Amino acid sequence: MKVIIVGGVAGGATAAARLRRLDESAEIIIFERSGFVSYANCGLPYYIGGEIKNKEELTLQTPESFWERFKINVKTYHEVVKIKPNEKIVIVTDIKTGKTFEESYDKLILSPGAKPIKPNFSAIDSDKVFTLRTVEDTLKIRSFADETTPETAVIIGGGFIGLEMAENLKNRGIDVTIIQKSNQLLGTVDCDIASFIHSKLRNEGINILFGINVTDIQNEGDKVKILADCLEPIIADMAIVAIGVTPESTLAKEANLTLGVKGAIVVNDTMQTSNKDIYAVGDAVEINHYVTNEKSVISLAGPANKQGRIAADNICGINSHYTGSQASSIIKIFDMTIASTGINESQAKNLNINYEKVVLSPLSHAGYYPGATVMTLKVIYEKEALKILGAQCVGYEGVDKRIDVIATAIFAGLTADKLKDLDLAYAPPYSSAKDPVNMAGFIIDNIEKGIVKQFHVDDIPSLINRNDITLLDTRTTYEYARGHIEGFVNIPLDNLREKISEIDNSKPVYVMCQSGLRSYLATRILAQNGFETYNFSGGYRLYKSIYEDTLVAKNTFPCGIEK
């Protein structure tokens, strides 16, 4: 059997190695148009910033190591330019020599990945304007930064690459501005969680401009000029265009393979395309979203690796199936970590799902053990069915653990209330006896059993100045004095029983505290004294982050877009 693989990196390289482990006699050839067949794509920004010192550390396998260990023939700087499915032939161009030749196959695996979206800006091909996708891109940016010592950089786009580049350029001492077309960074999370990201970046000295459509990038001497709607031109030493990627499906289209969402290659759950002898994996393929069962394109390394393995299995006669992706992801921004899995609240709304959410701000580990930090955890679930739809978490320690636990719960089909029953490892340096994931489950269980009712940040504007309700802040007098929401009266939790007669029991009481715990305790006291009560989800800490972010953002929406 002869298998040709188009493209390496995660999906293609994984498929090749799995093929060899399953079939020692197969002839396996990888054609890779770049100079690197298997590299740490997600580590590229950290080489630019200097956190990864040597470029060799980015390379996971070389053509030589593939041959030595697996007897797989890797041809870098070779681009497959055409597929002839009926003849089971690919046409390949040797980029260095320009020569073209044909290569036959029994099975073909397409792993072409995705390509950066490059708008038709005047200076898009300038040596001062960059995209980041390959090792060559990385070396180009690093070389520019080393040789010219830029002082200013503009990043267009606030997704994973944009944020990682912002951190790493800032770590080089460069003054960084992020321009974002929408009203928030990192679209995998909701606006409330994103507010913590915005605050962190601003505190690190990064300027963020929201609601701005960049119309052109032009050369301006030895600098670049960024033009945008409702914004004075910005002059910078360099620009990074990071507005997203699109599936690289040109070969598949020309071979008349079926394409789907965003032009991605349609595959079944064995990773087989519309041609029975051609498989496709990675960022170029359309898959099912595990939570929504909708057709999606999810450009992440984890899914690509799994898909490569599954394609290889089926080529070798092993019945393997890809169940879809939950889009679990994580990112480091300076010393802050943000992670998510499943869908967010915005997606749930767009899908018209009848959902509920809980937001809590627990400590990363036992409070009495030194070094505990606060995280914010948001869990979204479907009402009645209690299906976990997704989760988001932001903090400084233990964020990855909590998201991975919930991702596992989603995959296992646990209902949201069952999070309370998970038996998770505990020791004071690592967690609390009631882990944050358990706490989310407790809250959900209380809601579903009618023990507690909630209100959220979005509800506050409609509650202020109402005469038919009581707004109660149960934090300490000192906390209240440092900042509170207008209209909320202060009765500290520990004084509530003594002062309960001061509260009108004919009116519903909306209660808040710093994180949601003390206010929950207050609702239990009040409810058992005949009050109708609502607990504020997320606490004043969440409100303060969103409120302050909104105040700052008002000055960065020159086109009139509001948060």
Tokens of residue 284, six digits: 């170029």
Question: Is 42 an active-site residue?
Answer: yes
Distance CA 462, CA 452 (A): 20
CB 276 within 8 A of CB 256: no
List beta partners, residue 75: 31
Distance CA 33, CA 394 (A): 38
Identify the burial level of 488 via C-beta atoms within 10 angstroms of its C-beta, where 0-12 means exposed, 13-18 middle and 19 or more buried.
Answer: buried
List beta partners, residue 103: 90
CA-CA distances (angstroms) from residue 243 to 158, 162, 164, 275, 558?
7, 8, 13, 32, 20
SS3 164: helix
CA atoms within 13 A of residue 477's CA, in its CB half-sphere? 3
Distance CA 324, CA 226 (A): 39
For the CA atoms of 343, 344, 349, 350, the dihedral, rounded to the nearest 10 degrees, stands at -60
List beta partners, residue 374: 363
SS3 286: strand
φ, ψ (nearest 5 deg) of residue 286: -90, 130
Tokens of residue 96, six digits: 């260095």
Nearest to 25 by CA among 51, 3, 40: 3
Identify the burial level of 90 via C-beta atoms within 10 angstroms of its C-beta, where 0-12 means exposed, 13-18 middle and 19 or more buried.
Answer: buried
- Which residue matches tokens 């995998």? 188
Active site residues: 42
